[in-house]
């Protein structure tokens, strides 16, 4: 639960010059198109960069202001917060920002106005909370197994914390589960405490679609902005090896994301896509008010029964939006050419300023 009161953020926001707002973020993840979109909508921009990592931002001329820090996590230091406030900054949170700033700091110490809902960031990060959001409105998710003895089909076994899918494995029986767990323990990949916290779920042999939505609080509408599928190491390299050689090399795959492909779904699936997007917005609204606010993502697998099954969500801009920095097939249908997720965020903030409703979309 956030200790920062909405009034504290509003106080900072009230002191801002609304004609001189800066869109700011941490230089990582999706910052290139967040800042580019902000510029296109006429905002000033600032990027907070870790020293030594500023090259792509300078080479792409990403921002008006470069705030250099020794390490990413310094973004929450009080001098950096003051600097951001002095620029009338609205910070756009993304995956790296959340990871480096830290959930506790975002909830309690970071008194810079942010776009989105800072409370919901914890809900996407903790598996049990994330699950609550999904089951509230009966969104189809992989079946969960509380006891490995109950394994009756292929399952994927996950360990706590996002570790890029390292060490995740597939098993089809209790025996196979035990064998693989012991193997991983003997290699030192997991500890006994990890075993207690294993998460076991149905393995969905389907195609991966990460669906990027934008929920406009101002219009009360869920927009489909784009889709990507993941390019993961080592699994996507491994499948380029013929099956018989895969057996020979006895290789343990990981699912570490290294890139994204843009993708579109067969059109008949779009009804489900809008349905689950609308449902997640409703459950978030009920469980973590003010709910979703802006970009969010559902990572799905589509099986051969044509079910869209959600295995993970992001309650903020997701990295896969980098696959449509110049707009996607879907954003084109809604907004015409060139609407990235970053630009859509900036457009919402610009509209809120015009309507004098900024405090409605800021936390
Ligand atoms: P993390 O959050 O640790 O990166 P994810 O839950 O996103 O882990 O899973 C990593 C990868 O594992 C996914 O991108 C997908 O390829 C695969 N995966 C995850 N859950 C399932 C599932 N239920 N069935 C099949 N594959 C899955």
Q: Which residue has the higher pLDDT, 167 or 236?
A: 236
Q: How many whole angstroms from its chain centre is CA 282?
A: 18
| Distant-in-sequence contacts of 302-306, Cβ < 8 A, 24+ apart | 302/206, 302/207, 302/209, 302/265, 302/269, 303/204, 303/205, 303/206, 304/206, 306/268, 306/269
Question: How many CB atoms sit inside 10 A of residue 303's CB?
Answer: 14
CATH architecture of 125-139+206-249+257-351: 2-Layer Sandwich (3.30)
- Helix, strand, or coil (residue 203): coil
Task: Work out the average pLDDT over 325-346.
Answer: 98
How many angstroms separate the CA atoms of 196 and 217, rounded? Answer: 40
Ligand 1 neighbour 231 (Cβ under 6 A): no
The atom number, within ligand 1, closest to the CA of 201 reads: 23
Distances (CA, A) of 273 to 80, 129, 207, 266, 306: 40, 22, 14, 11, 12
Nearest alpha-carbon partner for 283 in 295, 275, 271, 291 = 291
User: If you search the block for the tokens 């020979």, which residue do you land on?
Assistant: 248
| Distant-in-sequence contacts of 122-127, Cβ < 8 A, 24+ apart | 123/284, 123/287, 123/288, 123/315, 124/313, 124/314, 124/315, 124/316, 125/98, 127/160, 127/199
Task: Work out the average pLDDT over 327-350.
Answer: 98
How many angstroms separate the CA atoms of 236 and 232, rounded? Answer: 6
Look at ligand 1, atom 20, and give the residue with the nearest C-alpha. 311
Contact 38, 342 (CB under 8 A): yes
Does pLDDT of 219 surpass 60? yes
Q: Which of 96, 168, 234 has most ligand 1 atoms within 8 Å of CB, for mutation?
A: 168
- Distance from Cα 24 to the centre of ligand 1, integer Å: 31
Does pLDDT of 165 surpass 80? no
Which CATH code of 3.30.70.20, 3.40.50.20, 3.30.70.60, 3.90.190.20 fits the domain covering 6-114?
3.40.50.20
Structural domain spans, the chain = 6-114, 125-139+206-249+257-351, 144-202
The pLDDT-based confidence of 185 (bands split at 50, 70, 90) is confident
Does pLDDT of 162 surpass 70? no
Q: Which helix (DSSP H) or strand (DSSP E) does residue 83 occupy?
A: helix 78-86
The pLDDT-based confidence of 327 (bands split at 50, 70, 90) is very high
Q: Write out pLDDT tens, residues 244-286.
A: 888 888 777 788 899 999 999 999 999 999 999 999 999 999 9
Task: Work out the average pLDDT over 319-344.
Answer: 98
Does pLDDT of 234 surpass 90? no
Question: Between β-strands 308-314 and 221-234, what pairing exists: parallel, antiparallel or unpaired?
Answer: unpaired
Q: If you average pLDDT over every residue of the chain, what do you get? A: 94
The pLDDT-based confidence of 1 (bands split at 50, 70, 90) is low
Residue 259's pLDDT is 96
Does pLDDT of 188 surpass 90? no
Tell me which of 194-208, 215-229, 316-330 is least confident. Answer: 194-208
How many angstroms separate the CA atoms of 167 and 293, rounded? Answer: 34
Residue 3's pLDDT is 67
Q: Which helix (DSSP H) or strand (DSSP E) does residue 211 occupy?
A: strand 207-216
User: Residue 91 contacts by C-beta under 8 Å, 6 or more apart in sequence?
Assistant: 24, 25, 84, 97, 110, 112, 113, 114, 115
Residue 184's pLDDT is 83
Question: Between β-strands 155-158 and 65-69, what pairing exists: parallel, antiparallel or unpaired?
Answer: unpaired
The pLDDT-based confidence of 35 (bands split at 50, 70, 90) is very high
Ligand 1 neighbour 203 (Cβ under 6 A): yes
Q: Which helix (DSSP H) or strand (DSSP E) does residue 273 occupy?
A: helix 270-287
Q: Write out pLDDT tens, residues 126-159.
A: 988 999 999 999 999 999 999 999 999 999 998 8
Question: Which numeric CATH code is attached to 144-202?
Answer: 3.30.1490.20
Tell me which of 77-86, 163-172, 286-295, 313-322 is least confident. Answer: 163-172
Ligand 1 neighbour 230 (Cβ under 6 A): yes
How many angstroms separate the CA atoms of 231 and 116, rounded? Answer: 27
């Amino acid at each position: 639960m956030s200790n920062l009161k909405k009034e504290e953020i509003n106080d900072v926001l009230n002191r801002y010059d609304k004609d001189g707002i800066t869109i700011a973020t941490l230089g990582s993840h999706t910052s290139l198109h967040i800042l580019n979109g902000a510029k296109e909508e006429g905002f000033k921009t600032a990027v907070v960069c870790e020293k030594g990592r500023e090259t792509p931002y300078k080479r792409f001329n990403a921002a008006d202001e470069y705030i250099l820090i020794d390490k990413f996590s310094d973004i929450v230091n009080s001098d950096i917060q003051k600097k951001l406030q002095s620029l009338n900054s609205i910070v756009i949170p993304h995956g790296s920002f959340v990871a480096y700033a830290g959930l506790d700091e975002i909830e309690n110490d970071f008194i810079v106005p942010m776009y989105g809902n800072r409370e919901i960031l914890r809900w996407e990060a903790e598996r049990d909370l994330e699950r609550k959001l999904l089951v509230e409105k009966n969104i189809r998710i992989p079946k969960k197994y509380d006891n490995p003895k109950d394994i009756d089909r292929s399952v994927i076994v996950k360990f706590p914390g996002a570790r890029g899918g390292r060490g995740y494995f597939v098993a089809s029986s209790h025996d196979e589960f035990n064998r693989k767990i012991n193997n991983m323990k003997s290699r030192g990949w997991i500890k006994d405490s990890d075993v207690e916290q294993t998460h076991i779920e149905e393995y969905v042999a389907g195609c991966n679609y990460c669906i990027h939505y934008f929920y406009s609080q101002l219009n009360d509408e869920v927009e489909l902005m784009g889709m990507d599928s993941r390019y993961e190491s080592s699994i996507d390299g491994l499948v380029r090896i013929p099956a018989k050689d895969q057996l020979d090399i006895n290789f343990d795959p990981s699912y570490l994301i290294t890139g994204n492909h843009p993708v579109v779904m067969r059109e008949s699936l779009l009804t489900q896509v809008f349905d689950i997007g609308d449902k997640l917005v409703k459950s978030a609204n009920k469980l973590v008010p003010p709910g979703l606010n802006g970009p969010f993502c559902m990572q799905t697998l589509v099986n051969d029964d044509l079910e869209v099954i959600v295995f993970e969500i992001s309650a903020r801009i997701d990295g896969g939006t980098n696959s449509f920095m110049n707009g996607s097939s879907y954003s084109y249908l809604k907004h015409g050419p060139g609407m990235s997720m970053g630009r859509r965020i900036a457009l919402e903030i610009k509209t809120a300023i015009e309507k004098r409703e900024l405090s409605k979309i800021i936390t």
